[in-house]
Amino acid sequence: MAWIRLKPLSQQTIVITGASSGIGLATARAAARAGAAVFLIARNEEALAHIVEELRHRGARADYAVADVGKLEELEAAAKKAEEAFGGFDSWVNDAGTSVFGALEKLPLEDHRRLFETNYWGVVHGSTIAARALRRRGGAIINVGSVLSDRAMMLQGAYSATKHAVRAFTDALRMELEREGAPISVTLIKPSGIETPFQEHAKNLLGTPGVRIPPPAYDPRLVARAILHACAHRKREIVVGFGGHAISLMGNLFPRATDRVLEAVGFSAQTTQKRPKPARADNLHEPREDGTEKSLMRPVAPLRRTSLFLEAQLHPALTATVLAGLGALAAGALAARGQRRMPAPRRLAQRWH
């Protein structure tokens, strides 16, 4: 197995696909704040140009390329531009993605195929391009999956299928690179429901005014934190948000019961009477209005900006130490409580006399 050495963020150049909004935009901003050079890829040139101008104004090194990740030749041209702009890259983040909400039987085949071109083939294209480049100098490939990589959600069946495929591809790529001794870290990020423009950009075939992510909703900056941690630290998987992870866990332990629960709440949990702004709706086949980390639709539940579950994964040794300390304190408290309840020896002797 090759020794994998990942640079500190301040010494890295990071390529991010799907960088014009949501998780990708949050990651680009966080990376720039950490001192990294960032190269952004998306379909929306207007949004990319504005974001790069913003980052450069703040003193960051930033550039972009317009590309559809589902088209290999466009993504290869974008990677070449990144090489020319920064002399290479150290981490490649495959974040581009979209969705369709609708029953599988009513989903047009062209939409189903298009979803796979972006969500799955975009990861395949980006990962293979990155692997060729990083074999020479080492680095990280970070693929953004979902908690739906483990447990499918009704009415997002096609999206769930793409994320299952992303997980399988990522696991296989990791094994193959390790076997050949390539100095490349491969990480799968599995977000729960994240408050991004995802719910506005998704195509809606449900006949409702709008669609939404089921609560609880987490801040996209939490996912950005997980992604950047994986850029600098070798990690296999990172799950963002215990809410979605709990559903996956329940599905593994009690699959039929989980089916029943999701069948009962799946429609109401994913629909809303709030209609997205027309300029932002349905970016499946063409780019739509971008440029924000979060949805412009009012959240259906309080936004969760912290996650102890995430912190425990990022710092497992510290978490184990804290838990061991808490366990020792609890054991000591129980022992002391037991001693206070025990009668004194002299009193026991008096009772016997």
- For the segment 123-135, the average pLDDT, to the nearest whole number, is 98
pLDDT band at 348 (very low <50, low <70, confident <90, very high): very low
State the amino acid at position 81 in one-letter form: K
Say what the pLDDT of residue 243 is. 87
Tell me the per-residue pLDDT of 83-113, one tens digit each, with 9 for 90 and over: 999 999 999 999 999 999 999 999 999 999 9
Q: Quickly list DSSP for 116-134.
A: HHHHTHHHHHHHHHHHHHH
**What pLDDT was estimated at residue 345?**
52
Residue 351 belongs to a domain:
no
Q: Would 167 be classed as within a structural domain?
A: yes
pLDDT band at 297 (very low <50, low <70, confident <90, very high): confident
Residue 168 in domain? yes
| Residues 217-270 pLDDT 10s | 999 999 999 999 999 999 999 999 998 889 888 998 999 999 999 999 999 999
pLDDT at 142 over 50: yes
Whether 137 is in a domain gets the answer yes
pLDDT value at position 347? 45
Mean pLDDT of all residues in 59-81: 98
Local structure of 16: helix, strand or coil: strand
CB 277 within 8 A of CB 296: yes
**Residue partners of 145: CB distance under 8 A and separation at least 6:** 163, 166, 167, 170, 188, 189, 190
Higher-scoring residue by pLDDT: 343, 182: 182
- Burial readout 203-234 (b: 16 or more C-beta within 10 A, e: otherwise): bbbbebebbbbbbbbbbbbbbbbbbbbbbbee
SS3 188: strand
* Residue-level pLDDT at 54: 98
Q: Would residue 245 count as lying in a domain? A: yes
Question: Residue 302's pLDDT is what?
Answer: 77
Cα–Cα distance, 73 to 92 (Å, whole number) = 17
Mean per-residue pLDDT of the chain: 92
CATH for 255: 3.40.50.720
Instruction: Read off the pLDDT of residues 329-338 as tens digits, 9 standing for 90 and up.
Output: 555 556 666 6
pLDDT at 78: 98
Q: What is the tally of structural domains in the chain? A: 1
Buried-exposed string 76-98: b where 16+ CB fall within 10 A, e elsewhere:
eebbebbeebbebbbbbbbbbbb
Percent of the chain with pLDDT over 90: 82
Spatial separation of the C-alpha atoms in residues 149 and 167, rounded to whole Å: 6
| Residues labelled as active-site residues | 159
Least Cα distance to 124 among 178, 71, 85 occurs for: 71
The pLDDT value recorded for residue 215 is 87
Residue 118 lies in a domain: yes
Which single residue is written with the structure tokens 């129980």?
334
Say yes or no to pLDDT of 31 above 90: yes
Quick check: 71 pLDDT over 70?
A: yes
Backbone angles phi, psi at 118, to 5 degrees: -80, -55
Nearest to 305 by CA among 26, 9, 13: 26
CA 2/CA 4 separation, integer angstroms: 6
Is 345 within a domain?
Answer: no
Q: Which two tokens stand for residue 329?
A: 């304190």
Is residue 325 pLDDT above 90, yes or no? no
Distance, CA of 16 to CA of 25 (rounded, Å): 9
Is residue 166 one of the residues assigned to a domain? yes
The DSSP output letter for 18 is: S
Which residues constitute the domain of residue 228?
A: 9-314
For residue 17, give the 3-state DSSP assignment: strand
- Residue 292: the pLDDT is 97
Strands 13-17 and 37-42: parallel
- Is 136 a residue whose pLDDT tops 50? yes
Mean pLDDT for 173-200 is 96
